[in-house]
Amino acid sequence: MPRPIVATIHIESMQHNLARARACAPGARVWGVLKANGYGHGLERAMRGLADADGLALIEPDNALRLRELGWTKPILLLEGPFDAADVAMMAAHGINGAVHGEEQLALIESARLPAAAKPLNLHLKMNTGMNRLGFKPERFAAAHARLRALPHVGEITLMTHFANADETAHPRLPIGEQVRRFNAGAAGLPGPLSLANSAGIFHMPGAARTLGAELVSDWIRPGIMLYGGSPGGKSAEEFGLLPAMTLSSELISVQDILAGDCVGYGSRFQADGPMRIGVVACGYADGYPRHAPQGTPVLVDGVRTRVVGRVSMDMLTVDLSGLPQARVGSKVVLWGRGMPIDEVATAAGTIGYELMCALAPRVRVVEA
């Protein structure tokens, strides 16, 4: 028999969350982002959950090709673009779009020697509007666009940027309005569709538009974390109308009765104030649960909220069974997902839901609801 820990993937939740993205940006086309193995949900499962998207976006060229092998015929976008000349050839051969975010990539595209029958390369030219990771500065953007436009093997050019603080539209250092102002200045007069909004932007751009007294247009939106039921910030996932796409669950494999002064786990960090029951859960950091999750991190046992106590170990963690007299070996435990928002667990552990999803270990059995 396998260990009782299992990650259940809810395909219908992805479908619901994709519909929420569309509802927030009427008329926009949707890139469903499934980088990092579909945010830990599995590439093929994410592809099926996002089947209604207008295109799929990811980072890894090999997985872009895998999507074609799996039967995806609609557009695919490489969010970091090609890494070498072989990637450019693969993009042309399989009709895969790519970002262009720097001089080196621009030179790769310019020097490409593609067969006459190759499909034109549809590209996303990225502007750095303050994130300062990737992209051409606004004052150099038009020149980069002109160089691409002059190439016979380049097709449509989409104008793209990425918001640093879309979940905090009035951020004191870089508000979304300032990034939009820089984008509009750098892209002034250039043709092509726009791709601006990630998950946070999708939810917060309408409010930012009202603040600016203008409409913020994004012809393509790029939802990522919201598709999997995680909050992009500002409110809880539930308040955004999102459903969790992954439930990580396990069982109690032992129950210990301890006395006042007894300690639990490595380092004896937790010490009981009085008699209590401790449950041992078949889940540890080797399964992807954060080792640094502190005492008090929420967890469900038999549908009742309780807390982690003691240090998380490789294969197990321990929970407080006070007020849970019915709990026993075999009781169901939900670490995150339905009934236990992943963002609550992540916040308690000092991280974000993205990391927990992506850290799901290969040894965890994955099933579909």
Residues classed as catalytic: 35, 266
Distance between CA atoms of residues 216 and 88, nearest Å: 32
DSSP state string for 226-286: GGGT---SSS-TTTTT---SEEEEEEEEEEEEE-TT-EESGGG-EE-SS-EEEEEES--GG
SS3 221: strand
Nearest to 339 by CA among 297, 304, 295: 304
Q: How many CB atoms lie within 10 A of CB 212?
A: 16
Q: CB under 8 Å to 368, separation ≥6 — which residues?
A: 8, 9, 10, 11, 45
Q: Decide: residue 320, CB within 10 A, 0-12 exposed, 13-18 middle, 19+ buried.
A: buried
Contact 253, 281 (CB under 8 A): yes
Contact 345, 333 (CB under 8 A): no
Distance between CA atoms of residues 228 and 244, nearest Å: 6
Phi, psi angles (nearest 5°) of residue 342: -60, -30
Cα dihedral 244, 64, 197, 168 sign: positive
Segment (H or E) for 35: helix 35-39
Nearest to 126 by CA among 210, 222, 226: 222
